[in-house]
Amino acid sequence: MLSLRLIIVCLILPLVVNAGNPEDYRFPREPGTTEDGFPLALSGVPITKTPVIANPGVKVKDYPEHYIPGRETLSDDEMRVTACGSGGPAPLRISQGAACFLVQLGNGDTFIFDIGPGTVGNLFALGVHPSELDKVFITHLHLDHIGSIFPLFDAMGWARNTPLQLWGSSGFTPELGIKAFANHVRQASEWHIQNKQNILPKGGMTIVANEFDYSKFSPENPRQLVYEENGVKIYAFPIVHALAGSVGYRLEWNDLTFVYVSDSQPSRFEAEQGKGADIFVNEVFPYAEEFAHYGRLPIESAEGVLEEHTTAEQLGNIFSIAKPRLGAGMHYTLDDELTDPLFERWSANYSGPLLLMQDLTTVNVTSEYIVVRQTKADLLAWPPPPKPPEEGVDMSKGVPTKAVTPDWLTETLLLNED
């Protein structure tokens, strides 16, 4: 038993001994490659053979080897996309949160796309104050895409005195839309909120659902403008996945475009919505046999799941139509045995630059170049100072709750005496 404990300490200690200093952080694995030359997962190198994509004759900015949150300022014309969750739907592991992408723009805006289980820690480690993580765009309501809504809602309530803003579809019926979902989250948090309302400003523990009407999509109206502010436009478009109400998003700003499709059965319509994207993030799924093995599922169940998802060959077809500057895959199970088969299948139908997302893969995008790196995050990071509250924001606390512990119990408290 002693030798086993010693082995565990030796494995874990290098990861945590310098947890407060991101420059000294050691990635879990030493750099190396698969047989086909792709970087190993969790080794500090992005899983791609094209980490730099540049226009001819362009001098690329000299970025550090790794992105360290809080150490780099985005230029006015730059976009940064970071995978806070690259895995799912199963198995969810400590190395991979489920679907979540953080998009930061040079104008100071910050957006979250999906908020799957295990992603909030990555969000908070990226040097963004929780008060700025208030715009969340949900593709659909599968739990592996919305499962971290409670810790995000809670943690933001400590630092933000404005509502958490959610965007999403109306669904096929009212109870299946984002508005009903937001109401249920708020109702399920009632015990927590009543406890906090006499301690914290009350504005932070509210949710606003910005619900767009799914029924308004049509061949004549293939996408809807659901957000427009500060020079940013975000469009929603329908995709084929599970129940009616599933969507993808297209963010346009400063002649840069980010397209995000989480889960889908591949379609030409979906591919057309991604045309001209600088970075197009789409799910990519292993074969049913592989998913059954790694997900510990019966093959019949894995085959049923795969029917509503996108294989590598199919995603290659989508990218061949959309022709993004960078095509990125997520939702894939990271394993050395699966990397080479993925890229072999992927590139059978597409020859452009490809990236397999892992947690904290960071992509800097300008009109002239794209640079892909892994993030070195402080595992004990504190959030940066918040911005001053806007003028007119109510900083008052809520009304103390009456649902207090009964006197007969509180009278037995063991209090410190002077």
pLDDT digits (tens, 9 = 90+) for 178-193: 999 999 999 999 999 8
pLDDT at residue 198, as a whole number: 80
Residue 418's pLDDT is 57
Structure confidence at residue 273 (pLDDT): 98
- Return the closest-CA partner of residue 171 out of 269, 245, 265, 226: 245
pLDDT greater than 70 at residue 33: yes
What is the predicted pLDDT for the residue at 417? 65
Strand, coil or helix: 132: helix
Q: Would 145 be classed as within a structural domain?
A: yes
- Of the chain, the percentage scoring pLDDT greater than 70 comes to 94
- Mean pLDDT, rounded, for 86-91: 83
At 358, which CATH number? 3.60.15.10
Q: Is the pLDDT of residue 248 over 90?
A: yes
Residue 271 binned pLDDT confidence (cut-offs 50, 70, 90): very high
**φ, ψ dihedrals at 403, nearest 5°:** -85, 60
Task: Tally the domains of the chain.
Answer: 1
Query: Which three-class secondary structure state does DSSP give residue 79?
Result: strand
Give the model confidence (pLDDT) of 302-312 as tens digits.
Answer: 888 888 999 99
pLDDT for residue 7: 43
Phi, psi of 111 (to 5 degrees): -135, 145
3-state helix, strand, coil in the chain (%, to 5): 30, 25, 50
How much is the average pLDDT of 77-87? 97
Q: State the Cα–Cα distance between residues 114 and 376, nearest whole angstrom.
A: 22
Length of the chain: 418
In tens, the pLDDT along 353-383 reads 999 999 999 999 999 999 999 999 888 877 7
Write out pLDDT tens, residues 201-230.
788 889 999 999 999 999 999 999 999 999
Query: Is residue 134 included in any domain, yes or no?
Result: yes
pLDDT at 15 over 50: no
For the chain, the average pLDDT equals 90
Check whether 39 has a pLDDT greater than 50.
yes
Contacts of 275-279 with C-beta under 8 Å, sequence gap 24+, read 275/321, 275/322, 275/323, 276/322, 276/323, 276/324, 277/250, 277/322, 277/324, 277/325, 278/79, 278/324, 278/325, 278/326, 278/365, 278/370, 279/81, 279/324, 279/325, 279/326, 279/328, 279/363, 279/365, 279/370
- The helix-helix angle for 288-295 and 336-347 (nearest 10°) equals 160
304 part of a folded domain: yes
Kind of pairing, strands 279-283 and 224-229? unpaired
Domain assignment of residue 278, yes or no: yes
Q: For the whole model, what pTM was predicted?
A: 0.93
Residue 387 lies in a domain: no
Question: Can you name the residues that pair with 208 across neighbouring β-strands?
Answer: 165
Q: What pLDDT is attached to residue 20?
A: 63
Least confident of 60-74, 226-240, 288-302: 288-302
Residue, of 37 and 394, whose pLDDT is higher:
37
Q: How far apart are CA 103 and CA 98, in angstroms?
A: 16
pLDDT at 239 > cutoff 70: yes
**What per-residue confidence (pLDDT) applies to 49?**
98
CB 375 within 8 A of CB 82: yes
Position 207 in a domain? yes
Span 309-327, average pLDDT? 96
Residue 281 belongs to a domain? yes
pLDDT at 402 over 80: no
Report, as an integer, the average pLDDT of 328-341. Answer: 95
6-27: b (≥16 Cβ within 10 Å) or e: eeeeeeeeeeeebeeebeebeb
Domain around 176: 65-378
Write down the residue that tokens 């976009």 correspond to: 79
For 289, other C-beta atoms within 10 Å of its C-beta total 12
Instruction: Give the per-residue pLDDT at 379.
Output: 80
Domain membership of residue 21 (yes or no) is: no
Over residues 66-76, the mean pLDDT reads 95
User: What is the C-alpha separation between 72 and 104, in angstroms, rounded?
Assistant: 12
CB of 271 closer than 8 Å to CB of 304: no
> Taking each helix axis from N to C terminus, what angle separates 149-157 and 178-188, rounded to the nearest 10 degrees?
60
